Amino acid sequence: MVNIADEILNTIKYAVDRKAVNCDVTYKSVIKNITSKGYIVLDRAGSERTVQCCIPGIGLRIGQGVWVKEPMGRLNDIHICGVVGMTGNPARNRRR
């Protein structure tokens, strides 16, 4: 009887360990190109993706480092959520 219980627990542990956890993932990328559809950036696998920027009123340029967010692991919903090196202080951002 103990062997059956251990086997069930091991099976549950294996299933939990194998389950992919879907959560937001944010990573650095670079703008490779700009098109009428959006910004072309590299995803985590190195593939080019056309994405939108969720920061209102910001101008981005080719070669600029950006933060890209993949919400819940959905590649169709990735977007630019920040600029690498930008701070909350506008005076500091102008010095760059």
From residue 38, how far is each of 56, 65, 78, 79 by CA, in Å? 14, 15, 12, 10
**68: DSSP letter:** E
Give the span between the Cα atoms of 31 and 41, in whole angstroms. 5
In this predicted model, what pLDDT tens digit does every residue of 2-35 receive, in sequence order?
688 888 888 888 777 766 667 888 999 999 999 9
Q: Structural domain boundaries of the chain?
A: 25-94
pLDDT of 45 reads 87
In this predicted model, what pLDDT tens digit does every residue of 30-70 receive, in sequence order?
999 999 999 999 988 889 999 999 999 898 999 999 999 99
pTM to 2 decimals? Answer: 0.68
pLDDT greater than 80 at residue 90: no
| Comparison of pLDDT for 81 and 14, the residue scoring more | 81
> In CATH, what class is 25-94?
mainly beta
Record the tokens describing residue 69, joined without a space.
């967010």
Neighbours of 53 (CB within 10 A): 19
